[in-house]
């Protein structure tokens, strides 16, 4: 059975976590839940930096290119001069590109977050796990279920 430790304050929780890790329990066996983000945990557990910036950057670039091309190609598709502006009116289309940078960049970051943080978490919904206001460390069994023969 997994062991669960509950803490009411941040200080003892962090000390205990440090203790457990120095006792040699691999960080993969620990599940840590907190009511708010503590950057100390990431350093303690040795988490790699989040890959979210890649989603943001990718979305932003795709949005910029897509937005500009949408405006330019649809204008070229039926080239009618309006308002004395060139068919590909760069300053105006940069604006569309800029807005799409922000839109697609934000949406891609959000999608990336759902993917990386594994949300929506169906098992948490089904097993009625709650988001506690305490600090919780769950230590998984020594014999992890993943050691099945292959």
- Rounded to a whole number of angstroms, the minimum distance from the CB of residue 26 to other proteins is 14
Task: Note whether 20 binds other proteins by CB under 8 A.
Answer: no
57: Cα separation from own chain's centroid: 13
Q: From the CB of residue 5, how many other CB atoms can be counted at a distance below 10 Å?
A: 15
Asked whether the beta carbons of 139 and 29 are under 8 A apart, the reply is yes
- Does 43 bind other proteins (CB under 8 A)? Our answer is no
Alpha helices in 23-51 (DSSP H): 39-45
By CB under 8 A, residue 106 contacts other proteins: yes
Instruction: Say how many C-beta atoms besides its own lie within 10 A of residue 100's C-beta.
Output: 22
Among 29, 66, 113, 139, the residue binding other proteins under the rule CB under 8 A is: 113
Label residue 84 exposed, middle or buried (CB < 10 Å: 0-12, 13-18, 19+): exposed
Which stretch in 18-26, 52-60, 142-150 sits in contact with other proteins by CB under 8 A?
52-60
Report which DSSP code applies to 147. G
Cβ closest to other proteins, residue 125 vs residue 149: 125
Is residue 75 within the footprint of other proteins (CB under 8 A)? Answer: yes
Closest approach, Cβ 149 to other proteins, in A, equals 28
Structure token pair of residue 63: 């949005």
Binding site for other proteins (CB under 8 A): 8-11, 31-39, 41-42, 45, 47, 50, 52-53, 56, 60, 70-71, 74-75, 77-78, 82-85, 89, 91-96, 98-100, 102-103, 105-107, 109-110, 112-114, 116-125, 129-134
């Amino acid at each position: 059975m997994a062991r669960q430790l509950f803490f009411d304050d941040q200080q003892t929780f962090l000390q205990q976590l440090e203790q457990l890790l120095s006792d040699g329990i691999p960080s993969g066996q620990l599940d840590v839940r907190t009511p708010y983000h503590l950057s100390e945990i990431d350093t303690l557990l040795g988490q790699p930096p989040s890959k979210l910036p890649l989603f943001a950057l990718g979305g932003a670039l795709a949005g910029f290119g897509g937005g500009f091309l949408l405006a330019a190609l649809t204008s070229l598709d039926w080239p009618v001069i309006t308002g004395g502006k060139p068919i590909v009116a760069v300053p105006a289309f940069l604006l569309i590109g800029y807005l799409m940078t922000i839109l697609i960049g934000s949406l891609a970051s959000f999608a990336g977050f759902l993917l990386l943080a594994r949300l929506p978490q169906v098992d948490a919904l089904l097993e009625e796990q709650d988001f506690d206001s305490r600090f919780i460390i769950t230590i998984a069994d020594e014999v992890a279920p993943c050691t099945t023969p292959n």
